[in-house]
Chain A
């Protein structure tokens, strides 16, 4: 669901000729495929890369707790961006990969970034068995992605986690076809929000054993957002009831918004909610990296009796990467308790 991040990456890398608007056909002007309603998502193939689509990501966030009760957040993301709709081989392959890793404690936030060319083996995704990697960062395991190990390292932090899925994969929107604007922009989007996690965080002061949960998002598309969309607020909340909520709000330049979400029952049954069914309202902002970013929210989904305050565990979870954005763990209070992750982009 992290559309904007990738769009921004492409803006920083002015990859030329981004077709604006929805072409409405099977391919866009440059030959990239575009998502079509009714296409079945198939596993394990769709755990792998889709080079014929412009952008794609494997996006994992994890809420963790140490033995002493201290809470942590971990992010591991692999982005793929295509210059042309083909896999290719060697240096000339038109696939560009970017990795982001972050580790958030209540008072610190560590970030690392990697860039790589596809085609030479420095980064990529394989499906049998599943492996996604960039440099030494790696998310790999069984082909059904139910059992994964996850590692990332940087000069000031590292982590090594084992993930076991305790529920099914969830398709968002209409069987995985997720609409992103009233003009019809869309992506393929599924999640595995049921990971149980065990592992070790390496902090500057030493290793910490942690346990918790994780949420993997998989999304690919070729279409940027609509021209009038300026930013993005995205929530993945794991509630104490065992239910889960994915919710996003796309902000429009004229002050309007487009909201969407998926309510996930403890058994994995998904209910999609279209524009207007849920609301996300900023309650207070904080100064981060020279900008005002809303780190406290009210999220409401009246249909499910949800009315909660979502608050950043660490206000300063700023991703100082080539395209900067805010991404960090959150606590949930109100009609439901819980925790989760929040991502916000487009705050200037």
Chain B
């Protein structure tokens, strides 16, 4: 009996293949977008973990400060269980030099794993890289699964040679507890500091968290839009199957069994759609990962391989979202079924006008959510609060939409006098509940589009302006070593307007990586540096060593304003914008820098020269000095490079945006198609009164476009609110900078155009079917009316 009942219930999908398609497609799309984003995140995180496991061994404290080999040995001989690490750029890779003998246990380059440790330790040595890394270098290459992409390992002695930095050490990791009676750090070298190793996450993982959260939020938004489709499909299917359910119950199938069978059916559908979605998600992730990898590497220096692996994390979460989404979308329908009296005439409810009360109730929910969003904006802190604010703003606005549409259509009907015009508006109003899910999806997709494109374009405008300020020197040169640097300066002095040394050391401020830069006292900085706020006479005071300038990220992270002091004791004299850099940054006068880090010699210089001379000088430098790759870079080159990274950063966001809009268009098409079949009873009387099917079809088309137009207009304020939240809340929390908001009207108009086209296209097919309707079908409405 159960089997027959199941067959009876399933037969519905056979008779309504379009609904089945909408359900599966919607669910698959939602799953695809979600699991695609998860796949990208999982791949990136796995590569950070690999990177962290190798040497930075998560959670291990570091010793930082001016370090060289003597200091290292002095520390070891004072009992400190430290292991040296040297990091540098080599052949386009991050070369990490380690000492396998003192490296922390579990080190990925444990020499025991190598076939011939002697060849690793002794010159000419060997370099260990990941399985896919390609390099052109005359060294012995060893390959290890444990080494992440973009990273190479070598013995520290070999690395010092390859990097041309004999005796150099970047930092020391503390590999275990101190022995009894170990000397105080200060007695070994007063300039050394112990820096906490953090909470077990690698720096990269922490820095990129916000980026991944961003992706997750967009994945979730896309999934939500997909679930709207599923919701409408399931609701319709359940409404239409009331007769079947009533018949089955009349035949003696217990309600419990029917609900159980429906649950089995939905689970089956969810699994099928989930599987399709995961396959699609894999494709999306594979297509987007190269851009994400480029972004992560450009923005954070994090290397992620360009290939996706099938990881349980994301495909399980994909199936989860498919099942959860189906459950969410079906709960209401199943509950209605449970409450249905057995003898009630099985009259499809979809067409029963939802009462104003339902619309009002949704609107109240919407207003409450908007209130919550505003409250979060005022009181919330952190990125999660920022996204919660976004989510409640979007959902709140979506819930308000049906009432607003209803009101607008009601108002529009007022001036209408002609009977057909009055019917047009009244019928449109009546259609709002049936279309509301699709229209909400359209509203969200358009608002997201407006919001994100406003953010990206605002950012771009600010970023290009900022690059002009920041990159004031015409040329940037980098010497191979200190000796060459001296020759270079001596050679450049008579040929350039000014040669400005750029010196920096890596350090930690309040436990997070930061760079300290020393800059010369020169109009290049005084006139151009993008200061956001500063004390009066800031450049004189910086030059005199009274304090430091810090970047916006650091000021926001530590809530510092000009006049405050850093945890390390320096006075903050000014704050400058520093886009595209996740780390904190300090700027001090060149003299101050040299006093503090006498061992850091300048190898990089900004060269001021009349712009028309720049190119010729660059060529002369290259011809005279044997500089490394990128030894001379002109301003334009750096700008182009920075903008390229910038563009890639947002490629993924844009792609997700377009997909979301496509999903919304699909939702409208599905809703209209399913509604079309059920609207015959409404249309038949008009046809009987003499309105041709062609005219009716045109009216249908017009109405879809009108509804889309209203939604499009409404999406503008929502989209701008979204952009504001992204720029002023989410960006600040995620990246540490706040950007001014600019409006881009041509973009919005274009988007509206697309929305109307999408709606028209979605309505075209149902309208065409209407126009070709046989009179017989319409006549049958009268003979079969229940």
Contact = CB atoms under 8 A, between A and B. Distances in A.
Contact of A12 (B102, B112, B122, B181): B112
B160 interface: yes
Interface residue tally on B, bucketed by range: 20 to 34
Interface stretch (A42-50, A87-95, A289-297): A87-95
A12 B113 CA distance: 10
A149 to B, nearest CB: 14
Nearest to A136: B79
Contact of B180 (A12, A121, A202): A202
Given A15-B117, A92-B157, A158 B112 contact: no
Mostly, the A contact residues are: loop
Nearest to A84: B122
Interface in B82-132: 99, 101-102, 111-112, 115-119, 121-123
Contacts of B177: 155
Contacts of A16: 116-119
Interface stretch (B69-77, B296-304, B366-374): B69-77
A91 B157 contact: yes
B474 interface: no
Nearest to A83: B118
B156 interface: yes
Contacts of A136: 76-79, 179, 182
A96 B182 contact: no
Given A121-B73, A135-B76, A92 B123 contact: yes
Interface in B507-554: none
B178 interface: yes
A136 B181 CA distance: 10
Contacts of A83: 117-118, 121-122
A12 B112 CA distance: 7
Interface in A98-154: 112, 115-117, 120-122, 133, 135-136, 153-154
Interface string B152-168: 00011110100000000
Given A116-B76, A136-B179, A154-B179, A13 B160 contact: no
A53 to B, nearest CB: 16
A157 B121 CA distance: 32
B102 A157 contact: no
B176 interface: yes
Contacts of A92: 122-123, 157
Nearest to B79: A136
A14 interface: yes
A94 B180 contact: no
B169 to A, nearest CB: 11
Contacts of A202: 180-181
A13 B112 contact: yes
A76 to B, nearest CB: 14
30 contacts: A12-B112, A14-B116, A15-B118, A83-B117, A83-B118, A84-B118, A84-B122, A91-B99, A91-B121, A91-B155, A91-B157, A92-B123, A94-B122, A112-B179, A115-B101, A117-B101, A117-B157, A121-B77, A135-B76, A135-B79, A136-B77, A136-B78, A153-B179, A153-B181, A155-B176, A155-B179, A155-B180, A158-B180, A158-B181, A202-B181
Interface of B: 69-70, 72-73, 76-79, 99, 101-102, 111-112, 115-119, 121-123, 155-158, 160, 176-182
Given A96-B101, A121-B77, A133-B77, 14 more contacts: A12-B112, A13-B111, A84-B118, A84-B122, A90-B157, A91-B160, A112-B179, A116-B76, A117-B101, A136-B77, A136-B79, A155-B180, A158-B180, A202-B180
Interface of A: 12-16, 83-84, 90-92, 94, 96, 112, 115-117, 120-122, 133, 135-136, 153-158, 202
